[in-house]
Amino acid sequence: MVVAATILAPLSAETSFAQGPTARESGFAFVSGDENGEVTAPLESSSGDLVPLTQFNSPATTPAQDPGSGADQTSGAGGQPSLSVNPITGMVASREASYVQLTGEERWKLYWKMNYFSVGSYFGPFFSALVLDQATGSPAQWGGGFAGYGRRVASRTGSAILQGTFQAPAAYLLHEDVRYIASRRPGFRRRLVHAFVYSFLTYANSGRPTLNVANLGAYYASTAASTAWLPGHHSTLDYALSNGSAQIGLTIPINMLQEFWPEITREFHHSRNQGP
């Protein structure tokens, strides 16, 4: 954790990145009106408080009206991006239709939440240790049963923290987003393809798709580093390429789960409200 804080300390001092088409705006404008007749000046309520413009402009312009992937996965209080970590996938989502780039402060918060302070940050290692290690008995020196599984979970947890620690500063320097970008297009097949593609892509700060170099590279780097504590002899390069690629392959079904998470949770709540 000390290493992580040392590497990522510059991020906490940043409050925003280069302004562009997706730069965050305050929610209030400073002129009285625009050519479309929309209210663009801050108005005062009877209490003297400023009233957000979204209460006066057309609701068709709000992200919630976009015919995207079901319920909004990203909106937080006051229209700010939600930084909630999915308890199953360990991911944070942002929608294409309402994409807003992360500030330095939000990146800093996400690093800690996605790697240490959320249920989702620990669910992933339990899953990958089961699928990639326990099922194959790797490494053999750790044996089977709960004792062996416990060692494999601890190993995967350490590797996951390293992966996030490598990814966060690299994504900051490369201007890449660390969130999953949910599709705005309707249709099961289109969204399924989107989830597959965005296992390898992300958004740049400009709001355009780009190869997710930071995430992909971090998987290989963390896997190579994990050979330091794995028993037996391992070729660092061979193990990094094989096991790192296996972990990337495992992100595909996880991304698919994240893509349809709004529908899954909505159906769950509906069934629970219906009762037996």
Model confidence over 170-195: pLDDT tens digits? Answer: 999 999 999 999 999 999 999 999 99
Mean pLDDT, rounded, for 143-169: 97
Question: Are residue 53 and residue 96 in the same domain, yes or no?
Answer: no
Pairwise CA distance, residues 51 & 48, whole Å: 9
Look at 46 and 197; give whichever has higher pLDDT: 197
Hey, is 257 helix, strand or coil?
Answer: helix
Cis bond before residue 253 (omega within 30° of 0):
no
Hey, is 211 helix, strand or coil?
Answer: strand
Question: Are residue 50 and residue 129 in the same domain, yes or no?
Answer: no
Q: What are phi and psi of 17, to 5 degrees?
A: -115, -175
Q: What is the pLDDT of residue 276?
A: 62
* Number of domains into which the chain is organized: 2
Question: Are residue 44 and residue 158 in the same domain, yes or no?
Answer: no
Question: Are residue 80 and residue 211 in the same domain, yes or no?
Answer: yes
Question: Are residue 78 and residue 212 in the same domain, yes or no?
Answer: yes
Residue 133 pLDDT > 90, yes or no? yes
Q: What is the pLDDT of residue 234?
A: 80
CA angle 61, 62, 67 (to 5 degrees): 90
Pairwise CA distance, residues 45 & 245, whole Å: 56
Per-residue confidence at 271, pLDDT binned at 50, 70, 90? confident
- List all residues 6 or more positions away from 66 whose beta carbon is below 8 Å from its beta carbon: 95, 97, 98, 184
Residue 161 pLDDT > 80, yes or no? yes
Residue 3 pLDDT > 80, yes or no? no
Question: Are residue 191 and residue 223 in the same domain, yes or no?
Answer: yes
Neighbour tally for 53: CB within 10 Å: 19
Q: Could you list the residue range(s) of the whole structural domain that residue 47 is in?
A: 27-61
Question: Are residue 162 and residue 36 in the same domain, yes or no?
Answer: no
Q: What is the pLDDT of residues 209-231, one digit of tens each?
A: 999 999 999 999 999 999 999 99
**Dihedral over alpha carbons 73, 75, 81, 83 (to 10 degrees):** -60
Look at 30 and 132; give whichever has higher pLDDT: 132
Q: Mean pLDDT across the chain, nearest whole number?
A: 79
Residue 30 pLDDT > 70, yes or no? no
Q: What percentage of the chain exceeds 70 in pLDDT?
A: 70
Residue 163 pLDDT > 90, yes or no? yes
Question: Are residue 215 and residue 105 in the same domain, yes or no?
Answer: yes
Neighbour tally for 102: CB within 10 Å: 27
Pairwise CA distance, residues 267 & 68, whole Å: 17
Question: Are residue 39 and residue 142 in the same domain, yes or no?
Answer: no
Question: Are residue 47 and residue 89 in the same domain, yes or no?
Answer: no
